Amino acid sequence: MTYCVAMRLDAGLVFLADSRTNAGVDQIGTFRKMNVFENPGDRTMVLMTAGNLSISQSVLQLLHDHVGLNGFTIWTAPNMYEATRIVGEAVRAIHQREAQALAQFNIEFNVSIIFGGQIRGEACRLFQVYSAGNFIEARDENTYLQIGEAKYGKPIIDRVVTPRSSLDDAVKCALISMDSTLRSNISVGLPLDLLAYQADSLAVTRFVTIDEKNAYFQMLRGTWGEQLRRVFEGIDAPQWQAMPGADDQPVRMPLPEAVAPVAAPPMLQSLAQQHGDPRQ
Amino acid sequence: MTYCVAMRLDAGLVFLADSRTNAGVDQIGTFRKMNVFENPGDRTMVLMTAGNLSISQSVLQLLHDHVGLNGFTIWTAPNMYEATRIVGEAVRAIHQREAQALAQFNIEFNVSIIFGGQIRGEACRLFQVYSAGNFIEARDENTYLQIGEAKYGKPIIDRVVTPRSSLDDAVKCALISMDSTLRSNISVGLPLDLLAYQADSLAVTRFVTIDEKNAYFQMLRGTWGEQLRRVFEGIDAPQWQAMPGADDQPVRMPLPEAVAPVAAPPMLQSLAQQHGDPRQ
């Protein structure tokens, strides 16, 4: 499995990828899923992949070999939209080449790609490319994209990230989102590739590989978990009586006459006095 | 879609279910997914369902009609294990009756059930029944079970709930878990059925139906989101320089000679001085 997340902010772009691949839990490996296309001063683009590793590596090979579209390659495309079309075309070329043979082994042609960056002359842009080679672009109302094991880490992003967030805040949130995913899915694993791109720099601004020894990530995980528990403890207990519908009844299956009601044990009666007997 | 969660604690059991069903987003309805089998003083059992509604309703009908196993019905089973076997048998009976016809329309036989409660003479027990009628039981090391849209709401439970948690804490956590799910998946919706069962009461201790107007749930959602953002803001920004591997380089695709490097714009140079030029 994989978890990759990218965020498009006014301040720039943030990309975070784990590095675990597995074919069943008995075959786990480490593969970098983040790849950078950088021509400093002209363009900086980041591509992250999830899905079938043989497919995503073949797509990368085509891009490495300068697959083109309308006479452009990824290095010469005039804007990010055209560059993303080239990525989509590479996916379609591999589909044409591989899908039938894979299907004979009931292997789905499954690849998903996050591709984003900036080409001189336009703003930062962020795209997600699907197995069919079609793609969508992140916009203000949905400023981040995820591929792979996306669900565990989604709620925290929805709560804190907006296009106005700073690069550092987005990095913080991406790492917390990754932490929640790491805890819940062992097929997502360290090390992490983290890249922060400052708008208009047209070069990689910040990159770091994060492993178990990374003190900042350790602090973040520890502090976040501990503070979360503190907030949890700080919230009032349910005020049952105050709730509208406190007298609601659940959907009960009818008690058959064949089964005579049993006299309530004393313990239940005391509970009934204490809480009000829910059977009335 | 559906989200149901149940927790097995020393103090008792907590059950929470949403009430939304959909056949595509253009056909959304409200169905109660929580059903109570209660013979006060003898047994109290709660059954929650996810998956194909026609299947889960037929399973419930069989239980209503006292489908039996080894001469026991769900009302007379000597313990929760045997009661759960009866639920599993009901699933298998419906599978035998329906699966083939559904398959002709490429409809998967898909139902999952959370079934838990207490029968006089043993402790509270909690089970999950699969489409094949087989089942697992929650234990101390994994004290909760989820069915349906489980992932969004899982991280918070992993962080705070243990078998030693109080009923009220478990209820609080279940509602926060549901809140994260509601925010991320519109096919999970209010109202919620919430049931708390106090160990050895052998009757429903607390039940409430929670809708938009429920003041406690509103407070919980608001406070949790706000406090989460506060905790987030309170965490230090990444200390890039201090990170081991701050000089790591990403996987770069080679820049083809055909594309001459572009002179870095002044903005980039100032950034390089500021951060250390990542291209070295």
Residue B81, in any domain of the structure: no
From the list B203, B211, B268, the residue facing A264 with the nearest CB is B203
pLDDT tier for residue A261 given thresholds of 50, 70 and 90: low
Token couple for B213: 């107007």
The model's pLDDT over A156-165, given as tens digits with 9 standing for 90+, comes to 999 899 999 9
pTM, full prediction: 0.84
Average pLDDT over residues A222-249: 85
- Residue B141 burial (10 A CB sphere; 0-12, 13-18, 19+): exposed
Among the residue ranges A19-33, A137-151, A160-174, the one predicted with the least confidence is A19-33
The model's pLDDT over B169-211, given as tens digits with 9 standing for 90+, comes to 999 999 999 999 988 877 778 889 999 999 999 999 899 999 8
Please answer whether residues B204 and B188 qualify as being in contact, where contact means their C-beta atoms are separated by less than 8 angstroms.
no
Pick the residue of A19, A64, A146, A268 with the most B CBs within 10 A to test the interface with B by mutation: A268
Residue B63, in any domain of the structure: no
With an 8 Å Cβ cutoff, are B240 and A206 in contact? yes
pLDDT(A274) > 60: no
Please answer whether residues A245 and B214 qualify as being in contact, where contact means their C-beta atoms are separated by less than 8 angstroms.
yes
Q: How far is residue A124's CA from residue A142's CA, in Å, rounded to a whole number?
A: 15
Average pLDDT over residues B117-146: 96
Token couple for A148: 């792979």
Going by their DSSP bridges, the two strands A34-39 and B251-252 should be labelled as parallel
Residues from chain A contacting residue B263 (CB–CB below 8 Å): 41
Q: What is the largest CA-CA distance in chain B?
A: 85
* pLDDT cut 90: percent of chain A above it: 66
Going by their DSSP bridges, the two strands A12-17 and B3-9 should be labelled as unpaired
Residue with tokens 């005391």: A270
Q: What is the pLDDT of residue A280?
A: 36
DSSP 3-state helix, strand, coil percentages of chain B (rounded to 5)? 30, 25, 40
Q: What is the pLDDT of residue A25?
A: 61
pLDDT tier for residue B32 given thresholds of 50, 70 and 90: confident
Residue B78, in any domain of the structure: no
pLDDT tier for residue B107 given thresholds of 50, 70 and 90: very high
Residue A134 CA, chain-centre distance (Å), reads 19
Phi, psi of B49 (to 5 degrees): -125, 150
Please answer whether residues B20 and B30 qualify as being in contact, where contact means their C-beta atoms are separated by less than 8 angstroms.
yes
With an 8 Å Cβ cutoff, are A255 and B228 in contact? no
Q: What is the distance in angstroms between the Cα of A171 and the nearest Cα belonging to chain B?
A: 8
Residue B174, in any domain of the structure: yes
Interface ipTM: 0.80
Residue A58, in any domain of the structure: no
Strand partners, A208: A194
Mark B240-254 as b/e (b = at least 16 C-beta within 10 Å).
Answer: beebeebeeebeebe
Residue A179, in any domain of the structure: yes
pLDDT(B270) > 70: no
Number of domains present in the structure of chain A: 1
Average pLDDT over residues A139-165: 93
With an 8 Å Cβ cutoff, are A40 and B264 in contact? yes
Q: Which domain holds residue B188?
A: 3-52+112-219
Strand partners, A215: none
Q: How far is residue A55's CA from residue A116's CA, in Å, rounded to a whole number?
A: 20
Helix (H) or strand (E) holding A177: helix A167-184
DSSP B188-248: S-S-EEEEEEETT--S--EEEEE-TT-HHHHHHHHHHHHHHHHHHHHSPPP-TTTSTTTT-
pLDDT(A254) > 90: no
Average pLDDT over residues A241-257: 79
Q: How far is residue A182's CA from residue A190's CA, in Å, rounded to a whole number?
A: 8
Q: What is the distance in angstroms between the Cα of B95 and the nearest Cα belonging to chain A?
A: 22
Q: What is the pLDDT of residue B24?
A: 66
Q: What is the pLDDT of residue B261?
A: 64
Residues from chain A contacting residue B78 (CB–CB below 8 Å): none
What is residue A257's DSSP assignment? T
Please answer whether residues A124 and A118 qualify as being in contact, where contact means their C-beta atoms are separated by less than 8 angstroms.
yes
With an 8 Å Cβ cutoff, are A35 and B250 in contact? yes
Amino acid in position B26 = D
Q: What is the pLDDT of residue A259?
A: 74
**Minimal-distance CA residue of chain A relative to B264:** A41
Pick the residue of A37, A177, A195, A227 with the most B CBs within 10 A to test the interface with B by mutation: A227
* pLDDT cut 70: percent of chain B above it: 89
pLDDT(A194) > 50: yes
The CATH number covering residue B130 comes to 3.60.20.10
Question: How high is the mean pLDDT of chain A?
Answer: 88
Q: What is the distance in angstroms between the Cα of B133 and the nearest Cα belonging to chain A?
A: 21
Pick the residue of A45, A57, A216 with the most B CBs within 10 A to test the interface with B by mutation: A216
Q: What is the pLDDT of residue A4?
A: 96
* Distance (Å) of CA A269 to CA A274, B40, B200: 8, 11, 11
Q: What is the pLDDT of residue B147?
A: 96
pLDDT tier for residue B279 given thresholds of 50, 70 and 90: very low
pLDDT tier for residue B276 given thresholds of 50, 70 and 90: very low
- Residue A96 burial (10 A CB sphere; 0-12, 13-18, 19+): exposed
Residue A200, in any domain of the structure: yes
The model's pLDDT over B39-59, given as tens digits with 9 standing for 90+, comes to 999 999 999 999 999 999 999
Residue A146, in any domain of the structure: yes
pLDDT(B280) > 50: no
